[in-house]
């Protein structure tokens, strides 16, 4: 598969599949990039043991409940973001993700 075809197929994925693919890349291939998550109750349950820990992660940034996406940076701080900004960030890593087909073949059909 060419990078150009990969890029087209990536853009056809829904946002949550893109986020899952990107996060898998981050967890397996990088040391210090932030990850994206759905802003819902399960996010808070999975990532914080106490309200104090949550408050420390939010810091002065606050949470915009109008955005469905939250990211955690390499320091554990969280911030909400829009779908457009999340996609722009992931776009910066497409070539790196493409270089790791062991990650993206679970999400994109190589037969395309």
Query: What pLDDT shows up at residue 32?
Result: 66
Which residue in this structure is represented by tokens 């062991």?
102
Give yes or no for residue 27 having a pLDDT over 70: yes
- Residues in the chain, how many? 112
Structure pTM? 0.82
How does pLDDT run across 31-90, given as a tens digit for each residue? Answer: 767 889 998 888 888 878 887 877 777 776 667 777 889 988 777 788 888 999 999 999
Query: What pLDDT shows up at residue 78?
Result: 82
DSSP helix/strand/coil, 101: helix
Does residue 36 contact residue 71 with C-beta atoms inside 8 Å?
yes
Contact partners, residue 21, CB within 8 Å, separation at least 6: 10, 13, 97, 103, 104, 106, 107, 108
The mean pLDDT of 26-32, rounded to a whole number, is: 84
Compute the distance between CA of residue 103 and CA of residue 23 in angstroms, rounded to an integer.
Answer: 10
Does residue 80 contact residue 39 with C-beta atoms inside 8 Å?
yes
């Amino acid at each position: 598969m060419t990078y150009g075809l990969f890029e087209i197929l990536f853009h056809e994925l829904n946002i949550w599949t893109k986020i899952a693919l990107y996060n898998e890349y981050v967890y397996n291939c990088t040391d210090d990039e932030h990850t994206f998550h759905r802003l819902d109750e399960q996010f808070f349950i999975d990532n914080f043991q106490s309200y104090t820990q949550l408050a420390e992660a939010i810091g002065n940034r606050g949470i915009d409940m109008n955005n469905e996406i939250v990211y955690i940076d390499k320091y554990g701080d969280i911030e909400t973001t829009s779908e457009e900004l999340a996609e722009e960030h992931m776009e910066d890593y497409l070539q790196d993700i493409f270089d790791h087909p062991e990650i993206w073949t679970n999400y994109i059909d190589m037969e395309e």
